[in-house]
Structure 1
Amino acid sequence: MSGSLSHRLILAACAWVIALTVLGGLVLTFAFQRAATASFDVALNDQLRELVAGLTTAGAGQWQLSQPPGDSRYGDIYSGRYWQVEDQEGRRERSRSLWDSRLATCPAGPAGGPEWLSPEGPDGRPLRAIRQRIALPRRTQPVCVQVAVSRAALDAEIAQFTRTLVLALAVLAGGLLVAVWLQVSFGLRPLRRLAGQVRAVREGRADRIDGRHPVEIQPVVDELDAVLAHNRRLVERARSSSADLAHALKTPLSVMAAEVQRPGEDWRGTVDRQLQRMQALVQRHLGRAAVVGAGSGRRTPVRPVLEDLLGAMRRIHAARGIAFHCTAGDDAVFIGEREDLEELLGNLLDNAGKWARSRVDVEVAQDRDGLRIRIGDDGPGLTPAQREAATERGRRFDERAPGSGLGLGIVDDIAGSYDGHLRLDAGASGGLLAELWFPMPATNAA
């Protein structure tokens, strides 16, 4: 059962339907039995009143039944309808239907209200009986009057109602169970459709989950689409990293190939430098692949990372006298890995330090919409066309400057993996302004 949601829902609903149907049947049967018995007792009490009305007393206090009940069945032997009148002196009159039998003797006692009994009749069948001790005029002792009727009609009526009720409840329960099955099948249809769409994505027939879904599972669909989009970005980033590495290794390999073909020259130093450069490039790309943390949900304070990087940048560019100025609040947080943030800021700060004439300005701001980091320099800047092409991998606008031309492309890739973006613009001082923006993760109420 634990392996199928539909089976669990159907079995749980069936258990409730059956339990409530049985309970309802018992309650209805009990209520009908009480109502039928009460109606039966009212008729029985009326016959007792009729019998009492026919009792009279003579002058000596002797009682007599001047008018027996008019129901002819009291005259048929063992008909199931009986009456009996007796006193404490032993005098007794009874209906002809009792023949040579009699009803139970009434115990001595004062006059009082009616009593209900369930004795056996003369033929062994169960009876419903009522008896009452009646005070008559000019008599000191009461007279006991009894009327008994066979329960066969009452029991047959109750049995007929029970059979009809069981049949009706069985049909009702069957209909409810079919309705439950249809409801569960219809209700889980969107999940089966979702499973088919996920299978289509896995088999390569689709790249995302399309279509409208019920509001209850739409958040799941949105999260699945987000995971699929994130995985696509990771794949693209891996491909880009491979292309970047191949592009970066191309120049050292060409240099080594040219050096080893020069006769009579010592090319070992050049090859050794190029090998070190290649090893550094490989380690850098391996490190980037290892620290891709988009979607990890970790919170990295921005200010400590910036302070560490700015300290390093001040030492690196100390000879040129580049001043680094930073405005960042302590509450600014990057939702991602610290290593990725270091990679992002390190590339932008290093690029700004290389081209700045005298200063680099860093501004960090965070609000409900997201995190914004601006890094600007007072260097020569870039033209609009150059800014459009600056994030292309391996693109360099000055071959004399050190580097591989991968920095801005790497920053753009990492920012994209966090659903952010890198925007290049002209700074207020005429240099380049690089702006990073990352959205704040959505928080869904449970």
Structure 2
Amino acid sequence: MTGRSLRLRLSLAAAGLIALALVLGGAGLFLIFDAALDRRTADELDQTARFLAGQVAFGADGAMTLEQRPADPRYAAPYGGLYWQVDAADGQRMRSRSLWDKALDTPPRPEGDDAEPQTLDIPGPDGGTLLAVARAVQVSEPRPPVTILVGLDRRQLAASRTEVLRLLAPTLAALAVALSLAMALFVHRALLPFRALRDDLGGLREGRTTTLPGRYADEVQPLVDDLNALLDQRARALKRAETQAADMAHGLKTPLAVLSALGRRIAPLAPAEAAEIERQAEAMSAQATRALARARATAAGLERRGAAAAPVVRQIAAALDRLPGSERLDWRIETPDIVVFPASEGELFEILGALMDNARKWGRRSIVVSAHGNRDSGAITVADDGPGMAADERARIGRGVRWDETTPGTGFGLAIARDLSEAAGARLKLGVSEFGGLEATVSWPAPAAD
């Protein structure tokens, strides 16, 4: 997959959104846990304050006493993290041994008797911060309420938060990986209709079908319908173009035949003019034939099928070998059956017919037709031992220009072969054969990898 892959971009976007959602969710969970921990701790401290309220008493002399102290050993250890303190209105104070020689700052007493407890943060005896609960309690009439203060060092709560965070982080990370993999699988399955569409397009390109078959997902089907409509419209347009080209070619036959007849009639009186008329008529006929071949090649593009090269080569060689003057030639066919040209059999007949006929006209004794490749890629070469062509002449053929004016038909056949090769996705290259003559190679590449 590349950076342009829709699957990769969707998977990365989903992974990023999942990670963001889990980070925000983890932060929210941590905040909820933090608030719940404070609330629960405050409830436990209030329970201790209620316990102390039930133990506070005043003697006959007005001295404040505490019948029973909380049992948690942290209240007895110096700076043990848990602290309590009871303050009377007349200045009497009792405190836990954990405060040692320190005292807690008592908050202002709330209005009313037995008011709701206050939850607040106050400085601790050893420089820390305490989460504290302050409760005003009416112990006996007519004495004013006493203030009971119970606190816990927040550093002990921090340890609990750290433990939760230590467990939460890897859990969320594992969940992010699992959700990302699940989303990648989901994206893969969601894009399966496009994979099926690609396969059907491959069948269309190879000529197995002329339209996109089957039903697709509702989101993809409108695209398929539009493509089928476009293919149908293009097929009709190409058919019209082929018909028009054929009509043009056939329409020119009669005027050309008349010109040729006139040329032959005036040949005894004006041989030079007659020869010129014959050449021009032949050139016009070749141009019409070339236009018709182009139209057929373009129209066949939508119905292209692979054509085995070996039987086509053998049929053309057998037909050419029966022409006058061919008895001097030795045809050597080296074309394996595995080679398949990416076009219709008719197109391959026209391409190789032009190349092999050109070799027959110019070859002296030997013509070699060889091929290599398979169903996906390959090349077919036609080589002769004739005079060959100079580089500038081969370039003129590449531009579709007739290069020889002395041999009938020469030049336009090669140009037509070039046009048909390009229409089939192949390439015609002209060079020098091992015999010193012309070597024409039609090559085609393998389809691009997905």
The TM tier, using the shorter chain, reads 0.5 to 0.7
Quick one: which of 223, 230, 240 aligns to 2:243? 240
CA gap of 1:236–1:107, structure 2 versus 1, over 3 A, is closer
Per the alignment, in what secondary structure is the counterpart of residue 180 of structure 1? helix
CA gap of 1:87–1:249, structure 2 versus 1, over 3 A, is same
Number of the residue aligned with 2:224: 221
Number of the residue aligned with 1:341: none
Q: Describe how 1:145-160 pairs up with structure 2 within 5 A.
A: 145-160=148-163
Quick one: which of 172, 175, 182 aligns to 1:172? 175
Return the offset for 1:46: 0.8
Structure 2 counterpart of 1:73, one-letter code: R
Return the offset for 1:189: 3.4
Number of the residue aligned with 2:55: 54
Contact 1:61-1:137 at 8 Å conserved across structures:
no
Return the offset for 1:45: 0.7
Return the offset for 1:255: 3.9
CA gap of 1:108–1:118, structure 2 versus 1, over 3 A, is closer
Number of the residue aligned with 1:183: 186
CA distance in structure 1 between the aligned counterparts of 2:228 and 2:215, rounded to whole angstroms: 13
CA distance in structure 1 between the aligned counterparts of 2:73 and 2:254, rounded to whole angstroms: 126
Number of the residue aligned with 1:249: 252
Quick one: which of 70, 92, 116 aligns to 1:113? 116
Return the offset for 1:129: 1.3
Contact 1:88-1:143 at 8 Å conserved across structures:
yes
Q: Describe how 1:28-427 pairs up with structure 2 within 5 A.
A: 28-107=29-108, 111=113, 112-199=115-202, 201-202=204-205, 207-210=210-213, 212-258=215-261
Structure 1 counterpart of 2:119, one-letter code: W
CA gap of 1:3–1:73, structure 2 versus 1, over 3 A, is closer
CA gap of 1:89–1:237, structure 2 versus 1, over 3 A, is same
Return the offset for 1:54: 0.6
Contact 1:85-1:93 at 8 Å conserved across structures:
yes
Return the offset for 1:197: 4.2
CA gap of 1:199–1:178, structure 2 versus 1, over 3 A, is same
Return the offset for 1:28: 1.8
CA distance in structure 2 between the aligned counterparts of 1:244 and 1:107, rounded to whole angstroms: 110
CA distance in structure 2 between the aligned counterparts of 1:257 and 1:84, rounded to whole angstroms: 130
Return the offset for 1:259: 5.1
CA distance in structure 2 between the aligned counterparts of 1:237 and 1:136, rounded to whole angstroms: 110
CA distance in structure 1 between the aligned counterparts of 2:173 and 2:72, rounded to whole angstroms: 41
Contact 2:53-2:139 at 8 Å conserved across structures:
no
5+ residue gaps, structure 2, are 270-276, 296-450
Per the alignment, in what secondary structure is the counterpart of residue 119 of structure 1? strand
CA gap of 1:109–1:61, structure 2 versus 1, over 3 A, is farther
Structure 2 counterpart of 1:216, one-letter code: E
The C-alpha deviation readout for 1:304-359, integer Å capped at 9, x for no partner, is xxxxxxxxxxxxxxxxxxxxxxxxxxxxxxxxxxxxxxxxxxxxxxxxxxxxxxxx
Return the offset for 1:47: 0.5
The C-alpha deviation readout for 1:337-388, integer Å capped at 9, x for no partner, is xxxxxxxxxxxxxxxxxxxxxxxxxxxxxxxxxxxxxxxxxxxxxxxxxxxx
Structure 2 counterpart of 1:215, one-letter code: D
Number of the residue aligned with 2:10: 9
CA gap of 1:46–1:196, structure 2 versus 1, over 3 A, is same
CA distance in structure 1 between the aligned counterparts of 2:104 and 2:32, rounded to whole angstroms: 30
CA gap of 1:251–1:100, structure 2 versus 1, over 3 A, is same
Per the alignment, in what secondary structure is the counterpart of residue 178 of structure 1? helix
CA distance in structure 1 between the aligned counterparts of 2:253 and 2:98, rounded to whole angstroms: 124
CA distance in structure 1 between the aligned counterparts of 2:49 and 2:249, rounded to whole angstroms: 113
Return the offset for 1:50: 0.7
Return the offset for 1:262: 5.3
Structure 1 counterpart of 2:38, one-letter code: T
RMSD between aligned alpha carbons? 3.5
Paired residues, number: 272
Given the two structures, how large is their TM-score scaled by the length of structure 2? 0.52
Return the offset for 1:172: 1.4
CA distance in structure 1 between the aligned counterparts of 2:151 and 2:264, rounded to whole angstroms: 131
Given the two structures, how large is their TM-score scaled by the length of structure 1? 0.53
CA gap of 1:47–1:254, structure 2 versus 1, over 3 A, is same
Structure 2 counterpart of 1:92, one-letter code: R
Per the alignment, in what secondary structure is the counterpart of residue 101 of structure 1? coil
Contact 2:136-2:147 at 8 Å conserved across structures:
yes
